Amino acid sequence: MKEQLNILAIDDEPSVLLIIQHYFKEKFQVKVFNKPADAITWMQDGNVPDLIICDLNMPEISGEEFVVFLRSSGFFSSIPVIMLSATESSEKKIAILNAGADDFMVKPFNPKELEARINSILRRLGKLEYL
């Protein structure tokens, strides 16, 4: 059996993390944090996820700042990031995609659509087979 891929989810709303954890636990190893700083520490301890789901609007470190950190890091720069946000602003979407996010979804989201987007990215990277 192949080893499960790892997803890291970062959101300051516990309900969002619960949905992601519950929905994806069968298919992926899911690690959740409510602060980007804690996720960065976890990653710097040697944990490298296959994909990151991150909220845009968080206290302390925003999702955009987190993506900029990842993209400027030699070690974490290639990890795909799907940004979640309650913001539907076209300008915000453009800014975050230009900052380095791979995809953007508006909250509340359909977990099946999120799964389809995750699968699409992971297939492109050769980490997931076509069904």
Dist. CA 37–CA 39, nearest whole Å: 5
> What stretch of H or E contains 94?
helix 90-99
Identify the structural domains of the chain with CATH numbers, from first to last. 5-124 (3.40.50.2300)
pLDDT digits (tens, 9 = 90+) for 49-96: 999 999 999 989 999 999 999 999 989 999 999 999 998 899 999 999
Cis status of the peptide bond prior to 108, with omega within 30 of 0: yes
Which pLDDT score is estimated for 59? Answer: 87
Residue type at position 29: Q
pLDDT tens digit string along 30-47?
Answer: 999 999 999 999 999 999
> Residue 24's pLDDT is what?
97
Phi, psi of 62, deg, nearest 5: -80, 165
pLDDT at 128: 87
pTM given for the model: 0.95
